[in-house]
C-alpha cells in the first residue's frame, strides 16, 4: 500500500510538472505573439518571415508558426510578396477598448461638439507605459495640425503633462524634458505652473511640446481616480485668437461634469449640499 501510495504521489507530481510545462509553453507563445505584433506596430512597412525571425531573434519555424496563427485570426494580413502587417482584427479589438474606457463615455461627444464650435481638434488619451495613449481624435480645425490616432505622447509633455500631474497626483519627476525652446524644464517654475492649473481647472500649451501648436487640456477623473486627458489642439495663431482662457474654461467645465458623472463628486460644487 505504501509503495502504491508513493506511485500515486509520483504520478501526481509528474502530472503537475506536465501541467506547469504546458502553461509555460503557452505563456511563451503568447509573449512571442505579442512581440510580433509590437514589432509590426512600430515598423512603417510590411515585414517578411526572415525580418520577423531576425528582429525577434527566434527560429524561423517558430516565427512561421506564430505568424500563421495570427494570420488565421485576422490580427495580421499577408500581401502578395508574403510580407506581413497588422490586420483589421487588431483595429477591431483596439476600437472596442477605446469605446469602453470611462473617459470616452464621459466626455467624448461633448468634447467633439465644443471642438467643432471652436474649430479645434479634440483628443482624448489615457496613461499607458509612461505615455499618454491617444484613443480618439476629431479634427475640426486647420489641417496644419495632425494628431496620430493610436500614437503615444510622453507623460510630461506640454499641457497633457501638466494635467496629468494635477489630477493623477503623481509626483513630479526630478528631470523635465525639453521638447521645444518654450518647454518648462525648471522644476520650481513647473511646480508653480501646476498650482495655477489646479486653481483654474485647465492647463495650457503655448508651443511647449510642438512648435506652432497650442492646446488647452483638462484631466478627467472618476471613482477609480485619474482616467486621462481631454484636450483641444490647434495652430497657435488660431488658439490665441480664440483665447486660451475662453477655450480652457469651456473645456474645464466639460471635464468637471464628466468627472462628476464618472463618480468623482469632488470635481463639482453642488449648491445646497452639506
Percent of the chain with pLDDT over 90: 74
Q: CA-CA distances (angstroms) from residue 162 to 88, 115, 154, 208, 239? A: 35, 21, 11, 11, 18
Residue-level pLDDT at 23: 47
Range of the domain at 40: 2-91
d(CA 165, CA 193): 11
Judgement on whether residues 153 and 105 belong to the same structural domain of the protein:
yes
> Over 60: is that where the pLDDT of 20 sits?
no
The CATH number for 139's domain is: 3.30.450.40
Q: Is 273 inside a domain boundary?
A: no
Note the pLDDT tens digit of each residue in 111-127. 999 999 999 999 999 99
Q: Which of 68, 91, 114 represents a domain boundary (last residue)?
A: 91
Stretch among 5-14, 52-61, 108-117, 132-141 having the lowest mean pLDDT: 5-14
66, three cell numbers: 506564430
Residue-level pLDDT at 1: 42
Q: Is 96 inside a domain boundary?
A: no
Judgement on whether residues 39 and 148 belong to the same structural domain of the protein:
no
Average pLDDT over residues 59-78: 94
> Over 80: is that where the pLDDT of 21 sits?
no
122, three cell numbers: 479634440
Judgement on whether residues 261 and 168 belong to the same structural domain of the protein:
yes
Judgement on whether residues 86 and 24 belong to the same structural domain of the protein:
yes
d(CA 33, CA 119): 42
Residue-level pLDDT at 164: 97
Note the pLDDT tens digit of each residue in 163-205. 999 999 888 888 899 999 999 999 999 999 999 999 999 999 9
DSSP β-bridge partners for residue 222: 225
Contact (Cβ atoms closer than 8 angstroms) between residue 55 and residue 39 = yes
d(CA 266, CA 273): 12
d(CA 157, CA 105): 25
What's the whole-model pTM score?
Answer: 0.81
Judgement on whether residues 185 and 236 belong to the same structural domain of the protein:
yes
Residue whose C-alpha cell is 494570420: 71
Instruction: Give residue 189's region: left, alpha or beta (phi > 0; psi -120 to 50).
Output: alpha
Sign, CA torsion 260/268/245/114: positive
Judgement on whether residues 223 and 190 belong to the same structural domain of the protein:
yes
Helix 158-167 vs helix 187-200: angle between axes, to the nearest 10 degrees?
A: 70
Judgement on whether residues 164 and 62 belong to the same structural domain of the protein:
no
The CATH number for 23's domain is: 1.10.10.10
- What single string gives the DSSP state of each residue in 90-131? HHHHHHHHHHHSHHHHHHHHHHHHHHHHHT-EEEEEEEETTE
Residue-level pLDDT at 18: 53
Judgement on whether residues 175 and 263 belong to the same structural domain of the protein:
yes
Average pLDDT over residues 44-71: 93
CB atoms closer than 10 angstroms to residue 171: 7
User: In the Cβ-directed half-sphere of 140, how many Cα atoms lie within 13 Å?
Assistant: 18
125, three cell numbers: 488619451
Stretch among 27-31, 45-49, 78-82, 103-107 having the lowest mean pLDDT: 27-31
| Structural domain count of the chain | 2
- Phi, psi angles (nearest 5°) of residue 46: -80, 155
Amino acid at each position: 500500500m505504501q509503495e502504491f501510495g508513493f506511485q500515486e504521489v509520483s504520478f501526481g507530481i509528474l502530472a503537475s510538472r506536465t501541467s506547469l510545462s504546458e502553461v509555460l509553453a503557452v505563456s511563451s507563445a503568447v509573449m512571442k505573439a505579442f512581440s510580433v505584433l509590437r514589432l509590426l506596430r512600430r515598423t512603417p512597412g510590411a515585414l517578411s518571415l526572415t525580418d520577423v525571425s531576425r528582429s525577434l531573434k527566434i527560429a524561423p519555424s517558430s516565427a512561421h508558426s506564430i505568424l500563421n496563427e495570427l494570420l488565421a485570426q485576422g490580427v495580421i494580413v499577408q500581401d502578395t510578396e508574403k510580407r506581413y502587417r497588422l490586420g483589421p482584427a487588431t483595429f477591431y479589438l483596439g476600437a472596442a477598448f477605446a469605446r469602453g474606457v470611462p473617459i470616452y463615455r464621459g466626455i467624448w461627444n461633448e468634447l467633439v461638439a465644443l471642438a467643432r464650435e471652436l474649430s479645434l481638434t479634440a483628443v482624448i488619451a489615457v496613461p499607458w507605459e509612461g505615455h499618454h495613449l491617444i484613443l480618439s481624435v476629431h479634427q475640426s480645425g486647420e489641417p496644419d495640425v495632425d494628431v496620430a490616432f493610436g500614437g503615444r505622447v510622453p507623460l510630461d509633455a506640454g499641457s497633457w503633462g501638466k494635467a496629468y500631474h494635477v489630477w493623477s497626483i503623481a509626483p513630479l519627476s526630478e528631470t523635465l524634458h525639453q521638447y521645444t525652446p518654450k518647454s518648462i524644464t525648471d522644476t520650481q517654475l513647473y511646480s508653480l505652473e501646476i498650482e495655477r492649473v489646479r486653481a483654474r481647472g485647465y492647463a495650457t500649451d503655448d508651443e511647449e511640446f510642438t512648435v506652432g501648436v497650442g492646446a488647452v487640456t483638462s484631466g478627467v477623473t472618476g471613482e477609480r481616480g485619474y482616467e486621462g486627458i481631454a484636450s483641444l489642439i490647434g495652430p497657435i495663431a488660431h488658439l490665441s485668437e480664440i483665447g486660451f482662457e475662453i477655450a480652457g474654461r469651456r473645456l474645464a467645465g466639460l471635464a468637471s461634469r464628466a468627472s462628476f458623472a464618472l463618480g468623482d463628486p469632488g470635481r463639482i460644487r453642488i449648491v445646497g449640499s452639506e
